[in-house]
Copies of this chain bind each other. A is one copy, B any other.
Amino acid sequence: LIRNAKMSKVYLVGAGPGDPELLTLKAAKVLKRAEVILYDRLVSRQVLEQANPWAEQISVGKLCGQQQQTQQRILALLLHYARQGKTVVRLKGGDPLVFGRGAEEWLFLRQQGIEVEIVVGITSATAVPGLAGIPLTFRGLSSAFVVATGHCQDADEQDWSRLASVETLVILMGVGRREAIAQSLIAAGRAPKEPVAFIERGTTSEERVVLSTLSDVAQGKAMIECPAIFVVGEVVKLRESLTAETISSNAEMTQHRPSRVLS
């Protein structure tokens, strides 16, 4: 059996949260060298424009309900191109190892004898709330935050009662199940009045923030477009002060002015 005659490296690369300037120097360098790029649906067009223009770009975005088949195809493609000796970039939104099965792809490739290099990226879980004026930690308000998937397709359903005791929650892929999640968190003891935020298209110029409360979300009153980052906790209230308009000439009078609830 003659194979693996020429083996290459697969770069498992984080594309960051959306804004192409939030790519790392290393990711930008690797994208310039790539011969084949397998990218997810959440990777922005502007990020792909940073890549070697002669690279073969293959969309491997997952459609709802077809995750398993798609994942098998991704593994097969990775192996196919790696065995051709190509410089392969597997480009994933955010960080390649925070959800999205990046670690499974890494494990598979190592088991096939293929070298993998990880290029970590900025996860949307921290970047998107932060840029929207919702820092996940703040002395006296939040000394810990939990990041969880709200995805309905996963076999192992999230046990929200185990997460509800952490001050701040960041839920990725939770828009579709937001009512059930909010109901579970209230059932687990979170205050119904607790502030929540959904941030759509975070870090981009098309960002939209929807502020609400757990009880309103539980009652289906929050209209959100998928995908969005779902944040629960008192830190949501900081947005008002952090994003208030600055009045440079009158600094002493700048108080906690109301910011746009929808922006």
Q: Which of B7, B24, B103, B244 is within 8 Å of A238, CB to CB?
A: B103
A144-163 vs B, Cβ < 8 Å mask (1 yes, 0 no): 11111100001110100111
Q: Smallest distance from the beta carbon of A119 to chain B beta carbons, Å?
A: 8
Bound Cα distance from A211 to B98, whole angstroms:
21
A22 contacts the other chain (CB 8 A): yes
A58 contacts the other chain (CB 8 A): no
Query: Do the beta carbons of B23 and A95 come within 8 Å of each other?
Result: no
Query: Do the beta carbons of A4 and B103 come within 8 Å of each other?
Result: no
Query: Do the beta carbons of A16 and B24 come within 8 Å of each other?
Result: yes
Q: Smallest distance from the beta carbon of A9 to chain B beta carbons, Å?
A: 10
Identify the stretch in A110-118, A179-187, A222-230 within 8 Å (CB) of chain B at 4 or more residues.
Answer: A110-118
**Chain B residues in 8 Å Cβ range of A110:** 241-242, 244, 246, 254
Bound Cα distance from A111 to B70, whole angstroms:
50
A1-44 vs B, Cβ < 8 Å mask (1 yes, 0 no): 00110010000000011011111111011000000000000000
Query: Do the beta carbons of B97 and A130 come within 8 Å of each other?
Result: yes
**Minimal Cβ-Cβ distance residue in B for A17:** B120
A77-104 vs B, Cβ < 8 Å mask (1 yes, 0 no): 0000000000000000001111101111
Q: Which of B102, B144, B248 is within 8 Å of A115, CB to CB?
A: B248
Bound Cα distance from A143 to B163, whole angstroms:
11
Q: Chain B CB within 10 Å — which of A4, A25, A255 has the most? A: A25
A213 contacts the other chain (CB 8 A): no
**Chain B residues in 8 Å Cβ range of A95:** 122, 126-127, 130
Query: Do the beta carbons of A248 and B7 come within 8 Å of each other?
Result: yes
Query: Do the beta carbons of B121 and A144 come within 8 Å of each other?
Result: no
Q: Smallest distance from the beta carbon of A181 to chain B beta carbons, Å?
A: 12
Q: Smallest distance from the beta carbon of A2 to chain B beta carbons, Å?
A: 10
Q: Which of B24, B115, B139 is within 8 Å of A21, CB to CB?
A: B24
Bound Cα distance from A134 to B22, whole angstroms:
23
Query: Do the beta carbons of A147 and B149 come within 8 Å of each other?
Result: no
Q: Chain B CB within 10 Å — which of A16, A115, A135, A145 has the most? A: A135
**Chain B residues in 8 Å Cβ range of A21:** 24-26, 29
- On A, residues with C-beta under 8 Å from B are 3-4, 7, 16-17, 19-26, 28-29, 95-99, 101-104, 106-107, 110-115, 118, 120-123, 126-127, 130-131, 135-140, 143-149, 154-156, 158, 161-163, 165-166, 203, 238, 241-242, 244, 246-252, 254-255
